[in-house]
Amino acid sequence: MNLPSFLWLWKIAAWSMVLTILAYLLQCLSGSIVWYARTTRIRRPSWLRTFHYTSGIVMVLLVLLLLGIGLIGTIGHYGSLGQSSHLVAGILVVLLTLVSAWSATQINSRNMWARNLHLTVNILLCGGLIFVSFTGWQVVQKYLP
Ligand code: HEM
Ligand code: HEM
C-alpha cells in the first residue's frame, strides 16, 4: 500500500488519542470529586456520577476505535501484527480500560474490592496511556512524508 495514502488513518489515531487523554483527565477530576464527597460525607450533585459514567463510556469507545484503527492499519500495511512494542502497549491499554469499566459496574457499598480495583487499574492506565502515546508517536514517524 502507498505510504502517504495511509496518513489520514494515523491522523485520526492522533486526534482520537488527544480526545482519549482529555476523557481520562475528566475522569480523574470527576472521580476525585466522587471520592472526596464519599469520604467527607458531603452530598454530591446527582449529575456527577452520570457525568463520570458517561465520559467513561466515551473513553472506552475511543480506546476501542484506536484498537480498530491500529489493527486494520497494521494488517492493511504489513499483512501481520507485531511490528513493534506498540502492540504490547495497545493491548495493555485496552485491557486496563475494560477492567476499569467492568470494575466500575461492580462498585457498591458492599464491594470495597471493586473500588480499590477501579482506582488501582486507573492509576496503571495513566502509565499505559503514556506508553501507548510514546510508542504510537514513534511508529507514526515511518508514515510521515
Ligand atoms: C473506564 C471508564 C470508567 C467508568 C465507566 C467509571 C465509572 C465509575 C463508577 C460507576 C464509579 C462509582 C461511583 C459511585 O460511587 O457512585 C466510579 C468511581 C470512581 N472512579 Fe471511575 N470510571 C471510569 C474511569 C475512571 C478513571 C479513568 C478514573 C481516574 C483516572 C476514575 C476514577 C474514579 C474515582 C476516584 C472514583 C471514586 C471511588 C471512590 O468513591 O472511592 N474512573 N467510577
Ligand atoms: C489507546 C490507544 C491505542 C491503541 C489501543 C492502539 C493499538 C494499536 C495496535 C494493536 C496496533 C498493531 C501493532 C502491531 O501489530 O505492531 C497499532 C498500530 C499502529 N498504531 Fe496504534 N494504538 C493506539 C494509539 C496510537 C497513537 C496515538 C498513534 C499515533 C498517532 C498510533 C499509531 C499507530 C501506527 C502508526 C501503527 C502501525 C504500526 C507500525 O507501523 O509499526 N496508535 N496500534
Kindly state if the Cβ of 138 falls inside 6 Å of ligand 2.
no
Structure-derived torsion over alpha carbons of residues 131, 125, 121, 52, reported in degrees to the nearest 10: -170
pLDDT at 5: 64
Distance 26 CA to ligand 1 centre (A): 11
pLDDT at 2: 53
- 118/83 Cα distance (integer angstroms): 31
Distance 118 CA to ligand 2 centre (A): 25
Backbone φ/ψ region at 41: left (φ over 0), alpha (ψ -120 to 50), beta:
left
Mean pLDDT over all residues of the chain?
Answer: 93
Burial label for 65, CB within 10 Å (0-12, 13-18, 19+), is middle
Kindly state if the Cβ of 128 falls inside 6 Å of ligand 1.
no
pLDDT at 4: 54
Kindly state if the Cβ of 71 falls inside 6 Å of ligand 2.
yes
89, 75 contact by CB (below 8 A): no
Domain with 100 in it: 4-143
Q: What is the mean pLDDT of residues 41-47?
A: 91
C-alpha cell recorded at residue 68: 480498530
Q: Whose CA is nearest to atom 9 of ligand 2?
A: 70
- Grade residue 52 by pLDDT with cuts at 50, 70 and 90: very high
| Tally of domains within the chain | 1
- 91/97 Cα distance (integer angstroms): 10
- pTM, entire model: 0.93
